[in-house]
Amino acid sequence: MTDQRVGTYEVMYLISQGEAADLAGVIEHIDGLYERAGAESLALAKWDERRLAYEIDKQKRGVYLLGYFRCPTDKLSSFERDCNLSEHLLRVMVTKADHLTEDEIAARNAREDLAVEAKLRAERAAERDQAGAGGSVSLGAPVREQAQAPVADEAPVEGEVAPEAEQPAEAGAETPGE
């Protein structure tokens, strides 16, 4: 019987702003990737949110998540492949974390903060959806309400065209000033 070698790794995930709106779903997806590789998650935290040096999949901004995990060394390549094939992750970089102690890794765990941020992002997304459904934002030319014809003794409001001027001149008819 052989002992399976297990390594400790540091991983940096880059996710798009659109995916970050469903941060809880992304974290769940990452946990699924760990489970599939037989890995144990040690820590996960949001590292930064910033403008990218160059566009990746038409994305100009991204959110970086920093994670630490313990994984059998023979499963690491399948974990990296699954991460690269994932539609939720833009980029992934995995390195060894032998330079850190268990206490240092545990100190970097901020899963509770990520859960709070995921909840806030979900609430903001719901508010935006409700505001968009209310019709408060419109694109294009403003919609004009149907104008009622002015009463005979009323003069047209400045900027409005009198009903007589709205009708096109007939072909061959004389126009004033000719």
pLDDT at 77: 94
pLDDT at 139: 65
> Contact at 8 Å (CB) between 114 and 31?
no
Residue 161 CA to residue 178 CA, distance in Å, equals 22
Q: What is the DSSP string of 89-118?
A: -SEEEEEE-TTS-HHHHHHT--HHHHHHHH
pLDDT at 128: 83
Predicted confidence (pLDDT) per residue in 9-31, tens digit: 999 999 999 898 889 999 999 99
Strand, helix or coil for residue 72 = strand
Instruction: Determine phi and psi for 141, rounding to 5 degrees.
Output: -70, 145
Which sequence spans correspond to the domains of the chain? 6-131
Predicted confidence (pLDDT) per residue in 68-77, tens digit: 999 999 999 9
CATH homologous superfamily for the domain 6-131: Ribosomal protein S6/Translation elongation factor EF1B (3.30.70.60)
Measure the N-to-C terminal CA separation of the chain; round to a whole number of Å.
108
Asked if pLDDT for residue 45 goes beyond 80, the answer is: yes
Asked if pLDDT for residue 62 goes beyond 70, the answer is: yes
Of residues 68, 54, 61, the one with CA closest to residue 103: 68
- The order of strands in the sheet holding 59-72 is 40-56, 59-72, 6-16, 91-96
In angstroms, how far is CA 1 from the centroid of its own chain? Answer: 48
Task: Please give the model's pTM, rounded to 2 decimal places.
Answer: 0.69
| Host H or E run for residue 23 | helix 23-37
- Report the share of the chain in percent with pLDDT over 70: 73
Taking residue 143's Cβ as centre, other Cβ atoms within 10 Å add up to 6
